[in-house]
Structures are given as structure tokens and as C-alpha cells.
Amino acid sequence: MDIPRMGVPRELADRPLHEQHEYLRRTFSRRRMLRGTAVAAGAAGAGLALPGTALASAPKQTSADPVSAERVDGALVAPFGRHLTYGNDPRTEMTISWQVPVPVDKPYVRIGLHPWDLSGKVGAEVRTLHTPAGVGVGADHDQYYLHARIGRLRPGTTYYYGVGHAGFDPASPKLAGTIGTFTTAPASDQPFTFTAFGDQGVSYHALANDALILGQNPAFHLHAGDIAYGDPAGQGKTTDTGFDARVWDQFLAQTESVAKQVPWMPAYGNHDMEAWYAPHGYGGEEARFTLPDNGPDPENLPGVYSFVHGNTAVISLDANDVSYEIPANLGLSGGGQTAWLEKQLKSFRTRRDITFVVVFFHHCAYCTATAHASEGGVREKWVPLFEKYTVDLVINGHNHVYERTDVLKGGAVAKELPIGGTAYPETDGVVYATAGAAGKSLYSFTAPDSYENHETATPDGVASFVVRDGGVKEKETVAWSRVRYLNYSFLRVDVKPARPGGTARLVVTGIAETGDEVDRFTVARRVRR
């Protein structure tokens, strides 16, 4: 059954999508739209209740109105760039997002428990992103992103879905090849795998890493920022040149093979601040992604959120808010993000159903790569909280390398963590991994590579720097750089729960683009009785 769109008058219900979108944009504020009421839809024969929503308004535009496009027969328009994201509760909520090259009428998702029964039908929302002529290198350009939020799903269940619109029905036999799947998080502790990297962009290496990630069969993937590199400058300024919004079309098409079935959970980096769409630079990201909205300020910090999968809590932060190196958004939250982080960490550490806490964001807390090295703002604002609440693993990007620290406490090595070793955060400290070699050009180290079966000792330490307030590069020689690998790679994390009184484990593996293992270590924690 078709789902009526929230807030659209009956006389507009059958009008073209862009007209409904414009009505909603003019009528509702973004905050009101985000907090609107979901529309429920029945799924005949599947025993489901699948709410379809139209809960978010368009991002701020750089001109008053997007360029209107002539209507095209929907049968000639194929959706592309499908990508999934969790809702606030990964057990019961999923957002399916995609793109179309031109406006379409009545977009929707079909969903069901079997590929031959997609009787659930959920209306989708459009977000039109307009890039006017004169911005960057692209011509006058419109992009159409569609999103369908689905709730009241069954935990630990695989669903089949197809995206469509008037004239393009994924349930028709000739379009059976467009059907995708996703699996919700389980209701109880079970072993699972997730993957992570940052700084991907569009390239052969980015595509190769996507293929390798798909082979890991992860429950979800963390992207630690600098996603597509539509803005190659990465300073968050409208005066930057070279911006090309069309890079995102390439990126979403490249990523679809993985992201259409694996929830793709991003944090935002400096190259994701596209200042042409909104003062804080995230208007473009808000058009392309629908992320959990449980952070401290979804309107100004849309990349800050948390979710829980099994026994593991995951927190995404926006390090642009604390970056001394690239200060375009420095102080954006007025300290609110850090206060929220402490509240979240404290809450997760009191919950008996949560064993591990993983935090990911873009700028590195600890890294020796020559391009960016370490971010002093992160060390000052967040590292004390990571130690206070014994965070189990911190994942960063920003530096286009793979590097992993020993176990750190107070900025120093609390325990050496050789390849194959085990860390106990409750007593030892925190481990930091930089996984920024997902696809963009690589950086360099001042010290030789040191990785599995190719270990190199650095008895005199590794020369590096940390960026302090005002962008000052403070030199330091560090002892904590345990693993360095200068080639394309990503992280695989295997989560192994345990019964109360037993020891649960995160087995963390650094995997090269070749498929070779370059690092392995374990984070262990005793489960409370």
C-alpha cells in the first residue's frame, strides 16, 4: 500500500515529488521536521509494521531554490548509490538511502522477509542539494537523495528490500536483480565483526578496500571521516577552489556494493566541511546521510551520535569541533560535545549489557605521520575522558597510514603491546589505531615501517609533532608508535562476548589491500557478574 507523506495536503499527495518537497521546505522548520511523527504502514503477510517517514527538511541551500528539471519517464530512471545506516536502535531501526539522477515521482522502498514477498511499502523523502554555477569546478548541478526510515523491525533478522518510484518497481521480475538485503542487530550477545577506515575518496584503492571489506562479512562499517573528497582543500572555507559536488555521485556508486547491505556509519572529517551549503559545512552531508539523531546537537553536529550493537557501544565524534590544526569549526559546540561525551561514557560504563566501548572520529589523538601527526585539541579535551572511563579502542583517520600505539595512559606508554599482545583497559590504559589508508594518496613516516613479520626497533623513539592551540607544531619524540604500515589498509574487529565472570575480547586486525595481515592485538575485559 502507498504511504501518505507526512504534512503534505491531500491535494498535493499526487503531485511531483519536487513540489511536495518545496511545500515541506517552506512550511516546516528543520527541527520540527526531525521531530515529526512517523507514518505506519502494514506489510501484508510478513507480520511486520514498517513506519515510513518524511522527517527531515532540505539542507540549507546556496541559492533560494534548486534548479527545476524536466520530468523523465520513471521507467527510464535507475536508482543508484544505495547506502544503509542504523537508526538510534540498530536492533529495530534502519535507514535506506539512495540517489537518482533526475527527479522522480512517489519514491518508496519495498521490504519483506523473502525476496519473492516485498509487500511492505514505505514512502521515501527527497533531499535536493543544489550547487550553483560558480561554486568550485562543477556547473549548475542538482543532486537528489532519497531516504526511507524503517522502524519496528525484528532484532537479528535479515530483510530483503528494493528501492523504486513511479514507473520503476523493484518487485517486478525484470528488476529482481536490484533487490538488496540487510540484517538488524541481535537482541542478545553474539559474536560479530565490524570494519573501519578513514580517508577513502574515489580511486582504485578505495574500490579494492571496499571489496575486501565485503569479504569480511561485517555487521557494520565505521568510516572515520574524509569520505568522498568533493572538497579537495579540506579547510572548510568557501574561498577554497576545486570543489566538485559530482564526486559524491562517483563515491556513492563506488561504495554501493558494500553499503547497500552493510550499515555505513560515518564520522565527519575536515574534507567533509563543505561550507557552500551551510555555515558549519554539513548541509551536504545532511542531504546524503541519515544518521542516528541522539547526539548533543543534531542540527549543528549531525555526525555526533552513538549506537549499541550486541555488547559493544560505539560513539562517533566530530573532531572538527576541537581541532587546532584546521580551526574552521573550532568551538562549534561551545563545549557541549565534550560534556555529552562524558555523559555517554559514564552511562555506557554503568550498563551491564555493555562490555566494550569503541570511539571513532577523524583527527588523530596519537600518530606520527608527517602530514598531520597528532591533534592537540583531541588530546586536551577527550583523551582524559577516554582514560577516565577506560575506553577499549579509539579509531582515527586523517593521516593516510596505518599506525597503532602501545597502551597509553597520561600520554605515555603504560604497557608495551607487541603484535599478538593483549591489552586490559581497566588496568592498562587505552589503545589508539589510525586507519586512514582507505584510498587517498599515502603520506609518510619519519621512521621505518614496522608491522607483522617486518618489525623494526626504534630505540631512540620516533620524531613527530602535536598541533597545539593556534596551529603551533610542537615537536616531540615518542616511544608509543608500535606498528607503522605505509600502504592501503583497513581495520577488522572481531567481537567475542563471554558469560558473566568470563573474559570478553576484541580481536583487532590490520589488513592490507593485498589481504595480508599487518597487525593483530586483543583487547580483553572481564564481564561483570
In sequence order, the 6+-apart residues with CB closer than 8 A to the CB of 359 are 314, 315, 317, 386, 391, 393, 394, 395
CA R_g for the chain: 23
CB-based burial label for 204 (10 Å; 0-12, 13-18, 19+): exposed
The pLDDT value given to residue 64? 30
Of 144, 115, 138, 200, residue with least CA distance to 21: 144
The pLDDT value given to residue 136? 85
The pLDDT value given to residue 25? 40
- State the amino acid at position 396 in one-letter form: N
The pLDDT value given to residue 3? 31
Residue 285, H or E segment: helix 283-288
- Give per-residue burial for 262-293: e unless 16+ CB within 10 Å, then b: bbbbbbbbbbbbbbbbbebbbbbbbbbbbbbb
Q: What is the mean pLDDT of each run of 10 residues along the chain (529 residues)?
A: 36 41 38 28 36 34 40 93 98 98 97 95 97 84 96 98 98 94 95 98 97 97 98 93 94 98 98 94 97 97 98 98 98 98 98 97 98 98 98 98 98 98 98 98 98 97 98 98 98 97 98 97 95
Of 250, 252, 278, residue with least CA distance to 264: 252
pTM: 0.89
Residue 316: phi, psi to the nearest 5? Answer: -105, 130
The pLDDT value given to residue 61? 34
Cα–Cα distance for residue pair 363/354, rounded to 1 Å: 26
- The full set of domains in the chain, from first to last, is 10-182 (2.60.40.380), 188-526 (3.60.21.10)
The pLDDT value given to residue 63? 33
